[in-house]
Amino acid sequence: MAAPEAQQTPSPTVMRRYVLESTDSLDGLVLEQDAKLPDITSPTQIRIRIKAISLNARDIQIATGQYPPHSVPKGLVPVSDGCGVVESVGAQVTHFKVGDHVAPVFPQGHHWEEHLTLKSLRRGLGGGIDGVAAEYFVCDEEEAVRIPSNFSYLEGATLPIAFGTAWSSLYGHQPKLQAGETVLCLGTGGVSLCAAQLALGAGARVILTSSSLDKLDKAERLLRPLASPGAPKNVIQTIDYSLIKDWDEEVRRMTHGKGVDFVIEIGGRGTLGRSIRSTRAGGLVAVSGYMSVYKTIPREILEEDIAQTILYSAANVRGVFCCNREMLKACVSALEVGGAKPVVGKTFKFDQLCEAYKYLEAGKHMGKVCIELE
């Protein structure tokens, strides 16, 4: 029996949702038109009407059977990142009320711990448990956060993974970002641009890389307003690695031989060696992706001894997943004050989710790929 609801707004009895009938390819992503609406079964649960979701590389890996940490249940509702409005609350809910704009936490139950364990990952939305590619989502009130008050639903849908991972990379471990330091962001995807925004808001310098001069120019224009008043022109610098193969040497030149303090490393083995060589002794290379695995990697890079590179760099190299709930709340507070907003590169409709997956997989996007629900 469903628990009594203290507040609620009228809702249908069925909803649309996606399920993964198989993980052999994106063809396994199926839209169900009349799935049962999820009930509130605990007095501390809330039901969220999902208004927008956003995609991450993880979502493609899960849908195509390439997600290594754990197996994926058949019939899973995919997608990790979503945002919506609280539509109903259980009788004992105190954190939220009907009408609040919230985002479910990824992963559910990861509240305080610094390190994300395999047990926590198995509670990750859209991978271990059902995600947010549905018109309604139910969770405990402890498993959601308010989005920044100046965020739209589309912008709020980027919060848990993209901003959460960026925040964890800069503040979740040692060393932590300080004003005046330099952050190297690889590419112009969601996590990298979110990290650049947070870094500029904290008074740091940013170096962006891309193989597209057009993307770099656009990113610099979008980021420039976030720099502190009076910041020098070189507070944002860019490197087109289609023209500068040895971009690690260019980073060293830009930093007068010192190297950067942080690297937002999303490329994996195709870029990791250069990222380490771009970093000062004691700096942090925050590894949160391995996108270069989908590209042809030159033999000399594949044959590099990464252990030796790490050893002689004296840099800190660590894997970074999304932050815990309390860190995510701190990130929201910083965004409220600093005014940074995510870059939404392209938006699709809910019935175009498969098309959105393919667009992200093609790697032509800048910023976040989002899906809007009616």
- State pLDDT tens for residues 154-175: 999 999 999 999 999 999 989 9
- pLDDT bin (cut points 50, 70, 90) of residue 22 is very high
pLDDT of residue 372: 98
pLDDT of residue 293: 57
- What is the average pLDDT across 226-254? 94
Report the percent of the chain where pLDDT is more than 70: 94
With 80 as the cut, is the pLDDT of residue 97 above it? yes
Query: Measuring CA to CA, which residue among 286, 289, 265, 301 is closest to residue 360?
Result: 289
pLDDT of residue 229: 84
pLDDT of residue 77: 97
- pLDDT bin (cut points 50, 70, 90) of residue 70 is confident
pLDDT of residue 132: 98
pTM: 0.91
CATH for 173-319 is: 3.40.50.720
Ranges in the chain annotated CATH 3.40.50.720: 173-319
Q: How far apart are the first and last CA of the chain?
A: 29
DSSP bridge pairs for 344: 368
pLDDT of residue 99: 97
Residue of higher predicted confidence among 296 and 176: 176
With 50 as the cut, is the pLDDT of residue 11 above it? yes
pLDDT of residue 82: 97
- pLDDT bin (cut points 50, 70, 90) of residue 233 is confident
Burial class (CB in 10 A: 0-12, 13-18, 19+), 318: middle
What's phi and psi for 284, nearest 5 deg?
Answer: -120, 125
**Three-class DSSP category at 299:** helix
Alpha carbons 304 and 276: distance in angstroms, whole number: 12
Q: What is the pLDDT of residues 126-155, one digit of tens each?
A: 998 999 999 999 999 999 999 999 999 999
Rg for the chain, CA atoms, rounded: 21
Ranges in the chain annotated CATH 3.90.180.10: 5-161+324-372
Alpha carbons 281 and 290: distance in angstroms, whole number: 23
Q: What is the DSSP letter of 107?
A: S
pLDDT of residue 230: 84
Residues with Cβ within 8 Å of residue 196, at least 6 apart in sequence: 183, 185, 206, 208, 219, 223, 236, 264
Alpha carbons 98 and 171: distance in angstroms, whole number: 32
With 90 as the cut, is the pLDDT of residue 285 above it? yes
CB 267 within 8 A of CB 290: yes
pLDDT of residue 3: 53
144 token code pair: 């959601």
Query: Measuring CA to CA, which residue among 131, 121, 144 is closest to residue 45?
Result: 144
CB 165 within 8 A of CB 322: yes
Of 4-8, 22-26, 140-144, 250-254, the least confident: 4-8
The domain 5-161+324-372 is placed in CATH, from the list 3.80.30.20, 3.40.50.10860, 3.30.70.20, 3.90.180.10, at 3.90.180.10
Alpha carbons 225 and 160: distance in angstroms, whole number: 24
Exposure string for 361-372, b = 16+ CB within 10 A, e = fewer: beeebbbbbbbb
